[in-house]
Chains A and B, each alone.
Chain A
Amino acid sequence: MHHATGRPPRVGDAPAIRRTLIGLVLITGALLILAPLVVIGVQAFSMGVGYFGATIAHPDTRHAIFLTVATALIAVPVNTIFGVAAAWAVTKHDFRGRRFLIVIIEIPFSISPIVAGVAYLFVYGLQGLFGPALQSADIRILFALPGIMLASMFVTAPFVARELIPLMQAQGRDLEEAATSLGASGWRTFFSVTLPNIKWALLYGVVLCNARVMGEFGAVSVVSGNIRGQTNTLPLHIELLYHDYNSVGAFAAASILALLAVVTIIAKVLLERQGAGRRSRPALAAPIVEAKP
């Protein structure tokens, strides 16, 4: 980035190439990436602040926000505990099938959310494995909050683990081994030795996990049943409003999630300054490749 004056120009540094490339990339980027964000804001307020406020304050919207937040409040902590446990097991210990387990943890990233939703239907739906038993016990999982939470957990299961595993792998086991040999318990070792070293990466994973849980659409739309005012999360509510020809209302609701996306990106940048996240992998969905020791 800093071009030392005495050095010969690098490939592509000729002003004509430079200007053309920057110009083309910025224009295309603005059209493809920035424009959708702008159109959300413009559309959301196209019928005035009053209409925007009325949409947000509508009981159905409020309920959708409540469902989305409730889902995140369960799914994110559960996935965080899972991610930490998985990373601890996989990086601080040797056992048979370790590599295989890492691959399995990553699987949800590769699978279409629709496939995830359909798969859950065949576990808890009436035509699924446990459906009839659940019905006779009068337990509702699908088309209710538990189904939405389970599907969200599937989709985001790898988020925390994939941030922690490469980092803890690179950090090795020396510190934990030293702490243990000095008599610290497992919990004490984790909280006073491991956690301080992984806290930013952990937070990074949690932030990304939360963004995906709150925004999940495909998997949740299969398992939710889409009952207005009952099982509509915010993304599903947006779809409903949009198909009701209430496009402005849909964009008003969408602007909340767009704001969440912007906050997520800001948090991501701040956490990256603390050294979290690795630029070597895309932020939300690549398989973990273990570096050879």
Chain B
Amino acid sequence: MTRRRIIPGLPLSLGITLFYVGLIIALPLGALVFKAASLGPEAYWNIISSERAVASYRVTVLSALAATLFNLVFGLALAWVLVRYSFPGRRLVDAIVDLPFALPTAVAGIALTTLFAPNGWFGGPLLEAGIRVAYTPIGIVIAMAFTSLPFIVRTVQPVLEDLDPALEEAAQSLGGSDVSIFWRVILPILWPALLAGTSLAFARSLGEFGAIIFIAGNQPFSTEITALLAFIRLEEYDYQAAAAIASVMLITAFVMLAVTNLMQARALRYTART
């Protein structure tokens, strides 16, 4: 389709945009890639496959998986309750769901640590039950679950709101029980949005730093996340290692970005069809 370009302002607005994107986004990321590439393949591989680095990947990925699984269930339940039921304080709960987004990560970090420390409100009783949360991988999972919860709720909520009651009525009139209708009618419709929200939450958990470092204990090989390892290498003035580890996180972020984009596009197409 040909369209005559009559709205003015393209050179100025595009100029500002490209300048800013170049200076603020592309230049630093380019510099990081350049620095990591200048290490040479062998040195690079040695750093990123070192025992401590691999242990940090394992802690980060496993904790992020656990946090995301928890949020998949809790986030769906929360979205369901907010959309399907009316109860006093529903709007307040709906607003508070955004708190993990609005609360600075360092603030969330010290608050969660204080709650779950051995002498904390939750940490004390949990310790008596034999569960240690603060300064263990469970603490990392809790911090990740806190910061990434809104992603799943906010992605599923609109799909749940738009769900056509006729679908359920049809299934009910065919004699389906609530449980079977949920699993066989509702969940398949929610699934693309759930997956999209899940991949967002997982990506966020992989990169989270501020909320985690207070509660994690930060012991190499057991509670040290990858972001912290990059930070520690910087503090040791080992810039090559910092660049290499940060580049691994950067590549992971790009892969996750591609995955989330794919999931979101799929979810959009799917909701457009139903």
Residues from chain A with a CB closer than 8 A to the CB of B243 are 118, 122
Q: How large is the interface on B (under 10, 10 to 19, 20 to 34, 35 or more residues)?
A: 35 or more
Closest chain A residue to B171, Cβ basis:
A11
Q: Which of B17, B95, B96, B204 contacts A85 (CB 8 A)?
A: B17
Task: List B contacts of A84 (CB < 8 A).
Answer: 13
List B contacts of A118 (CB < 8 A): 32, 230, 234, 242-243, 246
- Is A229 interfacial (CB 8 A cutoff)? no
Is B99 within 8 A of A111, CB to CB?
A: no
- Would A153 and B24 count as touching, CB distance under 8 A? yes
A107: chain B residues within 8 A (beta carbon): 25, 29, 257
A108 within 8 A of B: yes
B227 with A114: CB separation less than 8 A: yes
Say whether B155 faces chain A, with CB atoms less than 8 Å apart: yes
Chain B residues positioned under 8 Å from A154 (CB to CB): 24-25, 28
Complex contact A247–B114 (CB within 8 A)? yes
- Does A110 reach chain B (CB closer than 8 Å)? yes
Q: At the interface, yes or no: A120 with Cβ under 8 Å from chain B?
A: yes
B17, B157, B265 — most chain A CB neighbours (10 Å): B17
Q: Are A216 and B16 in contact (CB under 8 A)?
A: no
Whether A238 pairs with B178 at a CB distance below 8 angstroms is no
Which of A49-57, A196-204, A276-284 sits within the interface?
A: A276-284
> Once the chains bind, are B207 and A286 in contact (CB under 8 Å)?
no
Chain B residues whose C-beta falls within 8 Å of the C-beta of A260 in the assembled complex: 102
Q: Is the CB of B230 within 8 A of A18?
A: no
B216 is an interface residue with CB less than 8 A from chain A: no
The answer, yes or no, to whether B122 is at the interface (CB within 8 Å) is: yes
Q: Mark A37-74, 1 if CB is under 8 A from B, else 0.
A: 10110010000000000000000000000000000000
Segment with Cβ contacts to A, from B47-55, B79-87, B128-136: B79-87
Inter-subunit contact A218/B107 (CB<8 Å):
no
Assess whether B256 is interfacial by the CB under 8 Å rule.
yes
* A285 and B200 in contact, given A21-B80, A258-B103 (Cβ under 8 angstroms): yes
Query: Are A287 and B77 in contact (CB-based, < 8 A)?
Result: no
Chain B interface mostly: helix
Q: Would A89 and B13 be within 8 Å (CB), given that A21-B77, A281-B154 are in contact?
A: yes
The answer to whether B110 and A105 touch across the interface, beta carbons within 8 angstroms, is no
Cα A221 to Cα B264 in complex, Å, equals 32
Chain B 65-102 interface mask (CB, 8 Å, partner A; 1/0) = 00000000010011011011111001001011111111
CB distance from A57 to the nearest CB of B (A): 20
Partner of A217, one of B98, B105, B111, B239: B105
Dominant SS among interface residues on chain A: helix
Q: Are A110 and B9 in contact (CB under 8 A)?
A: no
B236 to chain A, nearest CB (A): 13
* Cross-chain contact B7 with A189 (CB below 8 angstroms): yes
Contact A282 B197 (CB under 8 A): yes
CB within 8 Å of A: which B19-42 residues: 20-21, 24-29, 31-32, 34-35
**Does B174 sit at the interface, judged by CB under 8 A?**
no
Pair B3/A257 contact, Cβ less than 8 Å: no
Chain A positions within 8 Å of B27 at CB level: 123
Task: State whether A122 touches B32 (Cβ < 8 A).
Answer: yes
Given contacts A21-B85, A95-B14, contact A120 B28 (CB under 8 A): yes
A283 B10 Cβ-Cβ under 8 A: no
Residues of A close to B80: CB separation below 8 A: 12, 21
- CB closest chain-A residue, reference B261: A287
Q: Across the interface, which residues of B come within 8 angstroms of A106, CB to CB? A: 257
Instruction: Give the distance in Å from the alpha carbon of A5 to the alpha carbon of B165 in the complex.
Output: 15
Q: B20, B149, B206, B254: which has the most chain A beta carbons within 10 Å?
A: B20
Q: A36-B108, A86-B21, A95-B14 known; 7 other A-B pairs, CB under 8 Å?
A: A21-B85, A94-B5, A115-B32, A119-B28, A254-B106, A282-B150, A285-B151
- Contacts A/B (CB < 8 Å), 5 sampled: A25-B77, A33-B146, A114-B228, A261-B99, A261-B104
- Residues on B lying within 8 angstroms of A by beta carbon are 3, 5-10, 12-14, 16-18, 20-21, 24-29, 31-32, 34-35, 74, 77-78, 80-81, 83-87, 90, 93, 95-108, 110-112, 114-115, 120-122, 142, 145-146, 149-151, 154-155, 157-158, 161, 165, 168-169, 172, 178, 181-182, 186, 197, 200, 203-204, 206-210, 214, 227-228, 230-231, 234, 239, 242-243, 246, 249-250, 253-254, 256-257, 260-261, 264-265, 268, 272
